[in-house]
Structure formats: C-alpha cells, structure tokens
C-alpha cells in the first residue's frame, strides 16, 4: 500500500520588526493624508465665507428693491436698533447699522422683529467667516444711550466678521443716509460693498474696541472699515486692527461688490486702487485682477 506523505507547514508569528515597519508605513500615509484633508477643509470653509458675503450682497440688492436704497451704516455705536410702534424702522430713521437692516433678507426676520435685546444678542452664522471662528457673542454692561436693559445690567452682543465700505463716507454704505444705486456713478462692478474685517485673534470672544458692539452696531468700526489703508491679515498681539479690512485667508480677503459679485482682493493691492474701490463717485472706475 502506497505511503501518504503529509506536508506540515509551520505557522510563523509576526515579528516585532514587521510590526514596526507596518506602523511606519501607516505613519507616513497619515502624514501625507492629514495635510490634504486639512487643505480640503480649509478650502471648504473659504467657500462658505464667500457664500456668506454673496448672501449679504444679495440682501443689499433686495433691500434696495424694497426700499429704493441700500441699508445705511446707521447712526452711532451707542444706538440700539430703532423700533417704531413695535416695528423696526427703515431708512434714515433706523439707527442700527447695515447688519440689522439686512436681517429680513438673510432668513433672520424673527430676530429682526423680536425687539432690540433679542436682535442685538443673535449669533447668526452668515456674519462669520468659518475659517476664523464659529458664531460668537460677548456680554458686558449696558452702554447704550438710552440704556437698553438698564444701567449696570448686562447686554449680550452677537458679533460679526464682515464690514462695509467705508468710514470716510465715500462708499456704498454711509452714516445716516442710505445710498442708492444711482449714486454709485463709478459703477457697481467696481465699487466695494462689503469685505472681511481685520481682527486681533488673540482676544476673540472678549470685548475689543472693534469687536464688541457686534453686527447691529451703527456707524462704527465693528461694522464699517476704511479703504484709505490696504487690507492686511489678522494678527495676534496688543491693540486693535486699526479700522482696516483683512482676514484669516492666506494672500487675500474675500470681498463683495455692489453688483452682487464676490471676488478676492490681494493684500498686495496698490493703496490707490483700494482707495478708489471704496469711492462710489470719484470718476475713476477701477478693476482688480
């Protein structure tokens, strides 16, 4: 009878060296993957920032359709939103700034109609660049004139990452009096409407001189900035942002123009060009790259 030969294969365990090699390969792959994931997330957040500005620009356009003018810049930081007979005032009678005036057009009518204390406190995602921060507010004693809740009591203020052009009064948003499209004689495509504002990121979430009254602020650097100095990036240190536009994105800020378009503006823009973008009627229509 033939003999059957039985082959037996030895079962070998995984050596420590092999485990270390596998772990090294995984570490290399993660090192390659994580920056790519972070880059994709950063780009997605940048797109959301642009979409916020586009939504706000459309809100300005719709406000113009309804009221024959863009929102004004409001009166002063010390003025809470104005209500007449329980309804928000519009036009020159509204002392709060453009951020409050666009609420009905950014799906925030409930906050607009709820009264000044609720409106001032609202944290609305459309006003925040997601690259910089999530919706945020600060709370400190009532400084409104007249007081909103009473002297010594605290008021919560929903903040804002975007500002209108500009503090000199030559732009699409000015103090007291609303601007009409007919007033923008340099053309809506070459006149800056809104852009990201520069901030000291070391103190985000605490009351800063240019980040405390929040999105409802009247004519104040919380919601209006200058085009007489070029935009520069956010910073970390002492002091405020110097009334300038700027932001957290590398190389550029995102900006909305009076025609509703959203375009990047480089930090390297010439000062004279940026100044002209902020002037609605200087007779020098200006294009950017």
CA distances from 114 to 44, 88, 121, 168 (A): 33, 9, 11, 32
- Provide the pLDDT for residue 37: 44
- Provide the pLDDT for residue 151: 78
CA distances from 155 to 119, 121, 122, 163, 280 (A): 11, 8, 11, 22, 36
Residue 287 in domain: no
Radius of gyration of the chain (CA): 26
- Provide the pLDDT for residue 40: 43
Contacts of 238 (CB under 8 A, 6+ apart): 200
Count of domains forming the chain: 1
Can you give the length of the chain in residues?
289
Residue 285 in domain: no
Q: 148 with 116: CB under 8 angstroms?
A: yes
Q: How far apart are CA 46 and CA 38, in angstroms?
A: 12
Residue 42 in domain: yes
Nearest to 126 by CA among 102, 149, 145: 102
Q: 196 with 129: CB under 8 angstroms?
A: yes
C-alpha 150, offset from chain centre? 30
Nearest to 279 by CA among 258, 251, 264: 258
Residue 149 in domain: yes
Three-state SS at 179: coil
* pLDDT tens digits, 88-140: 999 999 999 999 999 999 999 999 999 999 999 999 999 999 999 999 999 99
* pLDDT tens digits, 194-209: 999 999 999 999 999 9
Nearest to 190 by CA among 274, 78, 76, 287: 287
Intervals of the chain under pLDDT 70: 1-14, 33-45, 289
- Provide the pLDDT for residue 10: 53
Q: What is the DSSP letter of 112?
A: H
Range of the domain at 87: 17-277
Rounded to two decimals, the pTM is: 0.85
- Provide the pLDDT for residue 289: 62
Residue 210 in domain: yes
CA distances from 265 to 54, 85, 212 (A): 15, 43, 26
Residue 148 in domain: yes
Residue 4 in domain: no
Nearest to 157 by CA among 114, 121, 208: 121
Residue 232 in domain: yes
């Amino acid at each position: 009878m033939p003999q059957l030969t039985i082959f037996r294969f030895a079962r070998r365990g995984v050596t420590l060296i092999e485990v270390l090699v596998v772990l090294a390969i995984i570490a290399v792959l993660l090192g390659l993957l994580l920056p790519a994931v972070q880059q994709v997330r950063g780009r997605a957040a940048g797109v959301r920032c642009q979409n916020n500005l586009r939504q706000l620009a459309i809100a300005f356009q719709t406000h113009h359709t309804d009221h024959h003018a863009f929102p004004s810049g409001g009166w002063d930081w010390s003025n809470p939103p104005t209500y007449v007979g329980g309804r928000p005032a519009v036009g020159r009678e509204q002392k709060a700034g453009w951020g409050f005036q666009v609420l009905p057009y950014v799906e925030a009518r409930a906050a607009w109609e709820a009264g000044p204390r609720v409106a001032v406190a609202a944290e609305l995602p459309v006003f925040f660049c997601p690259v910089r921060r999530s919706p945020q507010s600060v709370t400190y004693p009532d400084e409104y004139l007249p007081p909103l809740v009473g002297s010594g009591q605290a008021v919560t203020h929903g903040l804002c990452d975007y500002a209108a052009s500009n503090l000199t009064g030559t732009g699409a948003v000015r103090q007291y009096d609303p601007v009409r499209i007919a007033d923008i004689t340099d053309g809506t495509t070459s006149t800056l409407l809104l852009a990201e504002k520069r901030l000291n990121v070391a103190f985000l979430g605490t009351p800063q001189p240019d980040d405390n009254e929040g999105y409802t602020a009247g004519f104040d650097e919380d919601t209006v900035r200058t085009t007489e100095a070029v935009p520069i990036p956010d910073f970390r240190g002492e002091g405020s942002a110097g009334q300038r536009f700027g932001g957290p994105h590398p190389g550029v800020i995102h900006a909305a123009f009076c025609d509703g378009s959203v375009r990047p503006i480089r930090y390297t823009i010439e000062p004279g060009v940026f100044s002209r973008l902020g002037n609605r009627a200087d007779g020098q229509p200006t294009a950017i790259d």
